[in-house]
């Protein structure tokens, strides 16, 4: 079909036989694991990394490690007259 058309063809899971390819970032980056289409190449498992990061954040908050003094904004007490 692509060879017969004068307009670009875009596919999803169509392989190299079209002009462009739709790739859902959640699939390619491993954000959704329930069902990964067979035509997807996963480049990273961000879902697992995000889950681990969230668990670490929760543990830090519960243990009182975050926020600490170094995570606080240190502004000036000067007030501008403008």
Summarize pLDDT for 58-73 with one digit per residue, the tens.
999 999 999 888 888 8
Which residue's entry shows tokens 């990394």?
Answer: 49
What is the extent of the structural domain holding 63? 47-74
pTM above 0.95, yes or no: no
Contact between 17 and 29 (Cβ < 8 Å): no
List the beta bridge partners of residue 10.
20
pLDDT of residue 4: 93
Residue 76 has pLDDT above 80, yes or no: no
Residue 55 in domain: yes
If one counts the domains in the chain, the total is: 2
The per-residue pLDDT for range 42-59, each reduced to its tens digit, is 899 899 899 999 999 999
Residue 31 in domain: yes
């Amino acid at each position: 079909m692509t060879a017969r058309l004068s307009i670009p063809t875009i596919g999803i899971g169509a392989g190299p036989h079209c002009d462009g390819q739709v790739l859902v970032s959640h699939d390619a980056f491993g954000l959704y694991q329930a069902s990964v289409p067979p035509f997807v190449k996963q480049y990273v498992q961000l879902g697992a990394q995000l889950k681990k990061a969230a668990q670490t954040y929760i543990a830090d908050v519960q243990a009182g490690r975050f926020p600490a003094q170094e995570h606080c904004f240190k502004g000036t007490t000067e007030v501008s007259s403008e």
